[in-house]
Structure 1
Amino acid sequence: MKQLIIHCAPELIQAALLEESRLVEYDTQYPLDSQRAGSIYMGRIVNVLPGMQAAFVDIGLAKNAFLYIDDLLPVHIDKQPKIKPSITEIAEVGQTLLVQVTKDPQGTKGARVTTHVSIPGRWIVYMPDADYIAISRKIDLDAERQRLKQLAEGSLLPGEGVIIRTGAVGQSEEDIRDDLQNLRDLWSTIQSKRDEVHAPAQLYHDLDLLPRLVRDVITDEVKEVWMNNSKIYEDMKQLLRKQNPSWRGRVAFYDRKVSLFDQFGVTDELSRSFRRKIWLPSGGYLIIDQTEALTVIDVNTGRYTGSIDLEQTVFDINREAAIEIPRLLRLRNIRGIIIVDFIDMNLDSNRLAVMDNISLAVRKDRSKTVIVGWTKLGLLEMTRKRK
């Protein structure tokens, strides 16, 4: 069973998703915080770098955004030139263009932007200029994939594209068409604004936390939604009434003296899960080190001594870590390149079993995670999509 716990304080809203009482996702929003990833801007090119095939774009943030040439060429591969041109042929200083943030500013780096706009809805992701249809890989029933593809083909206008989200499985034709039309109307509104503003200017920002939770997190699997603020409680009921009237009965108001997060064990779990050193139930532990380029996770036996032999002891710890690591990636929102240094195993069957365990665990993640495989040094390489 999944539970969504929303704790509201005067200057902060926190959301925690529990699966079988274990914390797996965490998100926050400050009242003055503005969502960057997904936001759409009218930007102005301030520098073109042919040696990097990139340009810097002023979108009104503290640091200029980075635009790579692939994000400037047509999104559909059939419309791209066979030989990639120099960026100086298609971009110049002072040029204005509509861009969307794909990666938030991080450290010394500014945001990354693209001209390939995509706007997520409840059942689909709308891409006004993509001219193709993609279907979530998590939809594995051939008949359903074919139904959704045919529905999209019969609904799109020339040049439009969509990605069918996992949640679209079983949804009616009417609901999916309504989702498409709402996104199409939103895109028309964004386009009308571009002629009314002077770059740099924001044209659209992704949804605030509550609507985003309704859109992306709350599904039939979420049986309870708890919150401790009466206004947020009423707002959530209204949002769910529009989305799915049958879900309104799952919303519950919490008014006890004990903190909502304390009541569900979220406070303690957050404290444990965001440390550099993470203890495993058996007595082993993980060390997590993050840099701008990648994240390294080191697996250690710790206090666990096993009971059979060294190979079995190592395998037990590695298998436990393989289940826990995907949960921590979701919870800490770790993205990009991830290297896991499991304890060395001698048996190929054990290495295969550990990779199977971690591959199975990442299927619960809404962000695309790819298990690349073992390197020659015995490290497990994986990537988690940045958004």
Structure 2
Amino acid sequence: MESLILINVTFNETRAAVIEKGVLSELYVERKSKPRIVGNIYKGRVGKIIPGMQAAFIDIGLEKSGFISVEDIHEDVFSDFFLEEDEPQTSKKKSRHPIQDILREGQEVLVQVLKESTGGKGAKLSSYIAIPGKYLVLFGTVDIVGISRRIEDKEERKRLISIIEKYKPKGIGFIARTASMGREEEEIKQDMEYLIRTWEDIKRRAEEHRAPVLLYEEPNLYIRAARDLVSKEIRTIIVDSREAYEEISNYISSRFPDSDIKLELYTDTIPLFVSFGIEPEIKKIFEKKVWLKSGGYLIIEETEALTVIDINTGKYLSGSNHEETIFNINIEAASEIARQIRLRNLVGIIVIDFIDMKSKQKREEVFKTFLGALKRDKARSVILDMSPFGVVQMTRQRTRESLLKTLAEPCDHCGGMGYVKSRETVCYEIIREIKSLMDRPNVGRITLYANPSVVETIKELEGENLKKLEETYGTKILFSPSEREVTDFEIRVEQ
């Protein structure tokens, strides 16, 4: 089956789904109520310096100050720059001096956001600057040439290095991203020229403005999807918003005029994610149990400290003997676990408890299958060998919260031990259903019966857009708050 990217826009919410051979592999959700700041570049002002932690707070103009560790500070100059490793082969420069000797309170510095603000903490910052393009990543003050680890062909690596060295100015660095593999020299050159112009503009704005100020903002989700998610295997984007379609089209034609990306505008009355069977898959993200085709299942437990994944045989009975049965289900589970890690964006420490196998050879085969399935993951991971008990321990890069924590909120009834869909998530489910109902003929009035807090959330986030929807379709939308669960709602239609 075809591999493609689906983009659904519902007013102030955008969702991007990556489909690989007919299977949902990744899902990204972005809401204007919680804007994404990873990758943004700011001119900030140094606040409190904490020698005991070798860290400092930086005011970047947000509600909470960001924090920077000494190892994330470039010491060559005090007006610092930042490096976010996208896929490079370089390692961060080790700091040789204590932070109190590098920074001073009130000093203005250039910083870039590494990780979103989470758990009451401010955003994690660094003073190494990295600006991603489609084929290259520009490094502001690191004069290097590198190639993505994922490009293994020696001749291709040599070709890309020669292209970069041919056009690269002195004083800045470039890394060839995986997407550069096989691309024409002119395409890579155009990407480099665009990144250089962007970097020059950032430096100019830094000179003109006092801290704190935003100097560079990463594009919205659907533009990033065209830039970062399209690959050799995925060349088709289907989007259900005309405005987003036109923005993506303009981006592709201006940045990559010779690109073979296939962009389609979806206009069917059946919602895009319903038509492609994505909505049922998204609902499963809220469930701990994941059924395997064979009848076995996974249990995925997300906690504050780590994520634990357990494999169970369930109804699985195939195999000539007990050991063979366990091996077969572990092999199937290995691939599905890799998909769930990407789909749910499981981050931090992950512990996987495979069913115990006596054979070392079989353990190695299962582990090899898991590593192979995880190769498609863009996030960096550190994975330890499988133990004799079948346990795999790993850490996965955290740049944003897991999908469950993005779409859900702690449950009031169990003191935060579990999660339920957040009010915002329920809000956008309701809006998508209302929009779908309005496409039907002879709909005069729609009444929503929902929890008072959900009704209030809809009015606060999307009240103006719902009024525009009423005017466009000539349909009245009424709200009837009622005492029910946050996730429970009813929509009635009258002619």
| Same fold per superposition (TM over 0.5) | yes
The structure whose Rg is larger is 2
Residue of structure 1 equivalent to 2:349? 337
Instruction: Tell me: higher relative CO, structure 1 or 2? Use CA pairs within 8 A at least 6 residues apart.
Output: 1
Secondary structure at the residue paired with 2:385?
strand
Q: C-alpha distance in 2, partners of 1:227/1:349?
A: 46
Equivalent residue runs for 1:12-51 within 5 Å = 12-31=13-32, 33-51=34-52
Q: C-alpha distance in 1, partners of 2:65/2:41?
A: 14
Residue of structure 2 equivalent to 1:186? 198
Could you say if the C-alpha distance between residues 66 and 291 of structure 1 is closer, same or farther in structure 2, counting changes exceeding 3 Å? farther
Residue of structure 2 equivalent to 1:5? 6
Deviation per residue, 1:70-102 (Å, 9 max, x gap)? 101447889867xx3221111222222111001
Instruction: Answer yes or no: is the 8 Å Cα contact 1:117–1:127 preserved in 2.
Output: yes
Residue of structure 2 equivalent to 1:236? 248
Question: Shift of residue 189 of structure 1?
Answer: 0.9
CA RMSD of aligned residues (A): 2.2
Residue of structure 2 equivalent to 1:349? 361
Residue of structure 2 equivalent to 1:52? 53
Could you say if the C-alpha distance between residues 367 and 62 of structure 1 is closer, same or farther in structure 2, counting changes exceeding 3 Å? same
Q: C-alpha distance in 2, partners of 1:107/1:313?
A: 42
Could you say if the C-alpha distance between residues 257 and 79 of structure 1 is closer, same or farther in structure 2, counting changes exceeding 3 Å? closer
Instruction: Answer yes or no: is the 8 Å Cα contact 2:357–2:389 preserved in 1.
Output: no
Deviation per residue, 1:91-115 (Å, 9 max, x gap)? 2222221110011111122211000
Secondary structure at the residue paired with 1:324?
helix
Could you say if the C-alpha distance between residues 224 and 195 of structure 1 is closer, same or farther in structure 2, counting changes exceeding 3 Å? closer
Deviation per residue, 1:177-218 (Å, 9 max, x gap)? 221121111111111112232322211111111221111112
Question: Shift of residue 122 of structure 1?
Answer: 0.8
Residue of structure 1 equivalent to 2:438? none
Question: Shift of residue 254 of structure 1?
Answer: 2.4
Q: C-alpha distance in 1, partners of 2:290/2:338?
A: 13
Question: Shift of residue 291 of structure 1?
Answer: 3.6
Would you say 1:160 and 2:172 are equivalent positions? yes
Q: Which amino acid aligns with 1:298?
A: D
Instruction: Answer yes or no: is the 8 Å Cα contact 2:305–2:349 preserved in 1.
Output: yes
Secondary structure at the residue paired with 2:62?
coil
Pick which of 116-125 and 4-13 moved more: 4-13
TM-score of the pair, normalised by structure 2? 0.73
Residue of structure 2 equivalent to 1:122? 134
Q: Which amino acid aligns with 1:143?
A: E
Specify every segment of 5 or more residues in structure 2 that has no aligned partner in the other structure, as ranges: 76-82, 84-89, 400-495
Residue of structure 1 equivalent to 2:465? none
Question: Shift of residue 293 of structure 1?
Answer: 4.0
Could you say if the C-alpha distance between residues 256 and 177 of structure 1 is closer, same or farther in structure 2, counting changes exceeding 3 Å? closer
Q: C-alpha distance in 2, partners of 1:224/1:111?
A: 34
Question: Shift of residue 33 of structure 1?
Answer: 4.4
Number of residue pairs aligned between Structure 1 and Structure 2: 384
Equivalent residue runs for 1:307-386 within 5 Å = 307-375=319-387, 378-386=390-398
Residue of structure 1 equivalent to 2:449? none
Could you say if the C-alpha distance between residues 53 and 359 of structure 1 is closer, same or farther in structure 2, counting changes exceeding 3 Å? same
Q: Which amino acid aligns with 2:143?
A: D
Would you say 1:216 and 2:228 are equivalent positions? yes
Could you say if the C-alpha distance between residues 78 and 72 of structure 1 is closer, same or farther in structure 2, counting changes exceeding 3 Å? closer
Question: Shift of residue 39 of structure 1?
Answer: 0.5
Question: Shift of residue 69 of structure 1?
Answer: 0.5
Deviation per residue, 1:299-357 (Å, 9 max, x gap)? 22223234432222221221111101111121122223322111111110111011110
Could you say if the C-alpha distance between residues 258 and 294 of structure 1 is closer, same or farther in structure 2, counting changes exceeding 3 Å? same
Instruction: Answer yes or no: is the 8 Å Cα contact 1:240–1:247 preserved in 2.
Output: no
Deviation per residue, 1:119-165 (Å, 9 max, x gap)? 00011110011122221111111011011112222322223111110
Could you say if the C-alpha distance between residues 47 and 221 of structure 1 is closer, same or farther in structure 2, counting changes exceeding 3 Å? same
Could you say if the C-alpha distance between residues 293 and 103 of structure 1 is closer, same or farther in structure 2, counting changes exceeding 3 Å? farther
Report percent identity of matched pairs.
37
Could you say if the C-alpha distance between residues 152 and 312 of structure 1 is closer, same or farther in structure 2, counting changes exceeding 3 Å? same
Q: C-alpha distance in 1, partners of 2:8/2:176?
A: 32
Secondary structure at the residue paired with 1:41?
strand
Q: C-alpha distance in 2, partners of 1:79/1:64?
A: 24
Question: Shift of residue 378 of structure 1?
Answer: 4.1
Residue of structure 2 equivalent to 1:64? 65
Q: Which amino acid aligns with 1:145?
A: R
Secondary structure at the residue paired with 1:373?
coil
Residue of structure 1 equivalent to 2:215? 203
TM-score of the pair, normalised by structure 1? 0.92
